[in-house]
Amino acid sequence: MKEMKLVPLVLIVFLFVRHGTFALFTPVDNYLIACGSSKNVTFQDRIFVPDSEHSSLVLKIDNSSIASSNSSVPSPIYQSARVFLGISSYKFGIEQKGRHWLRLYFYAIPKSGQNLKSALMSVVTDDFVLLNNFTFNNYNGSYMSKEYAINVTSNTLTLTFIPLNNSIAFINAIEVVSIPDEVLPDQALALNPTAPFSGLSELALETVYRLNMGGPLLTAQNDTLGRTWENDVKYLHVNSSAVNVSVNPAIIKYPISVTPETAPNLVYASAEMMGNANVPVVNFNITWVFTVDRNFTYFVRVHFCDIVSMSLNTLVFNLFINDDTALPSLDLSSITNDLSVPYYKDFVSNSSVDSDTLTVSVGPDTVAETTNATINGLEIMKISNKFRSLDGPLSVESLLPSSPSKNINVGIIVGSIVGAVVVMVVIGLCYCFLVARKSKTPQQGHPWLPLPLYGNSQTMTKMSTTSQKSGTASCISLASSNLGRLFMFQEILDATNKFDESLLLGVGGFGRVYKGTLEDGTNVAVKRGNSRSEQGIAEFRTEIEMLSKLRHRHLVSLIGYCDERSEMILVYEYMANGPLRSHLYGTDLPSLSWKQRLEICIGAARGLHYLHTGAAQSIIHRDVKTTNILLDENFVAKVADFGLSKTGPSLDQTHVSTAVKGSFGYLDPEYFRRQQLTEKSDVYSFGVVLMEVLCTRPALNPVLPREQVNIAEWAMTWQKKGMLDQVMDSNLVGKVNPASLKKFGETAEKCLAEHGVDRPSMGDVLWNLEYALQLEETSSALMEPEDNSTNHIPGIPLTPLEPFDNSVSMIDGGNGTDEDGEDAATSAVFSQLVNPRGR
């Protein structure tokens, strides 16, 4: 009994000795403000003082009021709010210059006498835009807390609230708290390309994700800097890929370079490691997926602490951020010289311009003795842009009204400049008019030209340089190929009214897409690439190479391109009804009928089947998703966006080894783990599309409960129960033939098989979807299937469809004008199922 009592005493002494070397951080500036409150409010063991009673706070208000509620609210901090009818500000006296946390708390208090949910506002500091054009009407949640890291260089910090469009602004609580200088550095390692990045101290940061890997939620009560750390599970790409592990926080040994202010020991005492350690597939990774704003770069801090190894130098793994190798062959013990010692690394990821997701992965290194990987914590912070904004392309100056004296000075300067340059403008206009007349003459005589990949093209010169730098093989010249019409840049400007934002159709990984009208009145879709993106250049070339070879009723046609002035512009046929996703959710468009959905899926399947079988060598799309299935004015589906497409394996190969590309939520798990691409990877993605069409929700939705985040996993659990109708679109309930739904569900289930060998070909998928349509169009009594196999329909031989042979002949020199031949051939194949009413 005496020995048992000694154990906790030893632990207490150990903790005192271990942590006694670190003084508890006391911020010099520590404003905790309860806005609009009449009394102190306790929140997370901290006391917030009313804004009207704080002696070091100056409040400049233009017609404010107070909102409060006695009803249940998310926490006491949200019981009151200060409401502003005009531009108003808080001015905080700053004693210690440097980084400060600025935390804002918003809750649209119901029944408070003010319609706070409709409040439209912007929030700025002296130098940075924090929120712009924000309203809870567009926010998916009832309350919101925002955390920013602002470098204060003067003796005051002003926080201004700007009501917009004759609306109001409001705030529930504010924190302004000093941060130790060493917590947020001035430098980090930039990725893509890898290079030192300095100047972070001059920029503002917004915390978007802070995760305690494998551990519980941590709040200000567990963190000396008042931070919140959430659990990571809902961001895991594959839940089963990781398992959590934890140890006693007392064994964490902080080195000199890391303190509890870097991260609490509770963060380093828990971790995620590989769910199947020592697996034979060394390319297996644990991946977390985060939704981000593609227009910003991100500061990423990764926390490590080896709490899983039994001895030194046995754990070696790689860290990836997006497609970039951030830390190759990381051996923690060789850096820390011990186990259970914290270590962190900072990065700046500038590749978010190509995607609205940011991914972080860890996986074993090939030289490691044990195939395992681990991570303890992760912080992702948005970095302010060139406008010094964290929300959009507007600066503080453009949001705040200018002072009268400033307007006078600006007027004098502008007036003098205008008087000096007016003659030069007239001369310039005359010159441009003459040049335009000259450039228009030869263009009309040669509207169809090959892509000048090795001519004077600045874009392709850049591509060549990029290839040389990266050590990749030089591209094969396509100068002799007829790749479509070569548009002059001026033609593109005229067609899109100089890229008028009112003509914007959407934004993708490659760039922005606008509606355009050519001189002859033809409507087109104009995709303008991001010239700063090296990946965009590769996609530009791939798209032209692929689509120049392909012509099919269910593939979006490439009309031409523009490769002038470093622009990367692709011109496609215009698809009047836009992407399939917009007809499923997120818009107020009318709901599609079950028959329409089946016909759309069939059209997309035909397009993919043609890619896989209709050319001399198969083509794998690699990015099949509902935004890449477009609908024309008759709701005919066409597959689009071939920027990531890849030529399939040759006859003597089973797969193509390549880096993982695609969209999370649609990625084939086998391809993701092994980096081995086959046509069955497209089949898996199409299976996700089928579930998305049926359930009308995104492929990934991190805000949902864990079991519902991934639509493929969630819908499959109901399909295996035979209860898929329980999760289908409510608009379809009672309007779908049960036999048709059953066949559709079986088809999707086969597509989503874990292993590619167990999935059907796109031809099999096509047949089964056609069958599901026939079941929908005829009575279930006459069409009840005797065989539930998803791979074929009884009585129909598994031979290539005739329409795809016709498609091949188009590539080989056929005129390809008889697009109706495809439907006729399909009708012949399905003669035993034809509905007398026709389609």
Copy the structure tokens of residue 377: 């914590």
- Which CA distances in Å does 630 have to 356, 434, 525? 20, 41, 12
Kindly indicate the confidence band of residue 728, based on its pLDDT and cuts at 50, 70 and 90.
Answer: very high
The yes-or-no verdict on residue 357 having pLDDT over 80 is yes
Q: Which long-range contacts (CB under 8 A, 24 or more apart) does 668-673 make?
A: 668/756, 669/238, 669/754, 670/754, 670/755, 670/756, 671/756, 672/237, 672/238, 672/285, 672/287, 673/281, 673/283, 673/284, 673/285
Which residue has tokens 């030529």? 647
Side-chain-side CA neighbours of residue 299 (13 Å): 28
Q: Is 527 annotated as a binding residue?
A: yes
Copy the structure tokens of residue 498: 């100089």
The yes-or-no verdict on residue 436 having pLDDT over 60 is no
| pLDDT average, residue stretch 682-705 | 91
* DSSP string for 607-624: HHHHHHHSSSS-EE-S--
pLDDT at 227: 96
pLDDT at 417: 63
The yes-or-no verdict on residue 254 having pLDDT over 50 is yes
Q: What residues contact residue 261 under an 8 Å CB cut-off, 6+ apart?
A: 25, 180, 182, 183, 224, 225
Which residue intervals of the chain bear CATH 2.60.120.430? 30-178, 187-383
Q: What residues contact residue 774 under an 8 Å CB cut-off, 6+ apart?
A: 783, 830, 833, 834, 835
- CA dist 592 and 731 (Å) reads 9
Q: Are 385 and 394 in contact (CB under 8 A)?
A: no
pLDDT at 657: 67
Least confident of 364-378, 387-401, 739-753: 364-378
Check residues 203 and 778 and name the one with the higher pLDDT.
203
β-strand partners of 230: 211
pLDDT at 275: 78
Measure CA of the first residue to CA of the last residue in the chain; give whole Å. Answer: 85
pLDDT at 671: 84
φ, ψ of residue 21 to 5 degrees: the values are -75, -15
Task: Kindly provide the residue ranges of all beta strands, DSSP E only, lying in 595-672, ordered along the sequence.
Answer: 619-620, 629-631, 637-639, 646-647, 656-657
Check residues 418 and 42 and name the one with the higher pLDDT.
42
Q: What residues contact residue 370 under an 8 Å CB cut-off, 6+ apart?
A: 277, 278, 314, 315, 364
- CA dist 538 and 509 (Å) reads 12
Q: Are 752 and 713 in contact (CB under 8 A)?
A: no
Q: Are 530 and 353 in contact (CB under 8 A)?
A: yes
Q: Which residues of 259-286 are buried (b: 16+ CB within 10 A; e: fewer)?
A: bbbbbbbbbbbbbbbbbeeeeeeeebbb
Q: Are 548 and 570 in contact (CB under 8 A)?
A: no
Of 2.60.120.430, 3.40.50.10190, 2.50.20.10, 1.10.3720.10, which CATH number belongs to 187-383?
Answer: 2.60.120.430
- Tens digits of per-residue pLDDT, 492-541? 999 998 888 888 887 766 678 899 999 888 999 998 876 554 455 666 77
Which listed residue (232, 623, 668, 764) is catalytic? 623
Least confident of 159-163, 549-553, 809-813: 809-813
- Which CA distances in Å does 702 have to 66, 582, 600, 773? 35, 20, 27, 33
Rounded CA Rg of the chain? 30
Which residue intervals of the chain bear CATH 3.30.200.20? 458-573
pLDDT at 650: 60
φ, ψ of residue 684 to 5 degrees: the values are -60, -45
Q: In CATH, what is the architecture of 580-833?
A: Orthogonal Bundle (1.10)
Side-chain-side CA neighbours of residue 408 (13 Å): 3
Side-chain-side CA neighbours of residue 654 (13 Å): 6
φ, ψ of residue 83 to 5 degrees: the values are -110, 130
Running DSSP on this structure, what letter comes out for residue 73?
-
Report the residue count for the chain.
839
SS3 of residue 763 by DSSP: helix
pLDDT at 839: 30
The yes-or-no verdict on residue 800 having pLDDT over 50 is no
Copy the structure tokens of residue 50: 């009313």
Kindly indicate the confidence band of residue 415, based on its pLDDT and cuts at 50, 70 and 90.
Answer: low
| pLDDT average, residue stretch 564-590 | 88
The yes-or-no verdict on residue 200 having pLDDT over 50 is yes
Q: What residues contact residue 195 under an 8 Å CB cut-off, 6+ apart?
A: 189
- Which CA distances in Å does 570 have to 514, 558, 816? 11, 7, 23
- Tens digits of per-residue pLDDT, 22-68? 457 889 999 999 999 989 999 988 999 999 887 677 888 777 788 87
Q: What residues contact residue 72 under an 8 Å CB cut-off, 6+ apart?
A: none
Kindly indicate the confidence band of residue 651, based on its pLDDT and cuts at 50, 70 and 90.
Answer: low
Residue 623 is among the residues annotated as catalytic for this protein: yes
β-strand partners of 516: 524
Kindly indicate the confidence band of residue 788, based on its pLDDT and cuts at 50, 70 and 90.
Answer: very low
Largest CA distance in the chain: 101
Least confident of 120-129, 222-231, 474-483, 485-494: 474-483
The yes-or-no verdict on residue 674 having pLDDT over 80 is no
- CA dist 357 and 342 (Å) reads 28
Helix 679-695 × helix 711-720 angle, to 10°: 80
Q: What percent of the chain has pLDDT over 70?
A: 74
| pLDDT average, residue stretch 737-764 | 94
Which residue intervals of the chain bear CATH 1.10.510.10? 580-833
pLDDT at 654: 61
Closest CA to 543 of 621, 632, 489: 621
| pLDDT average, residue stretch 571-594 | 91
Kindly indicate the confidence band of residue 102, based on its pLDDT and cuts at 50, 70 and 90.
Answer: very high
| pLDDT average, residue stretch 144-155 | 95
| pLDDT average, residue stretch 589-614 | 93
Averaged pLDDT score across all residues of the chain: 79
Copy the structure tokens of residue 177: 């708290």
Name the CATH topology of 458-573. Answer: Phosphorylase Kinase; domain 1 (3.30.200)
* Residue 617, amino acid: Q
Name the CATH topology of 30-178. Answer: Jelly Rolls (2.60.120)
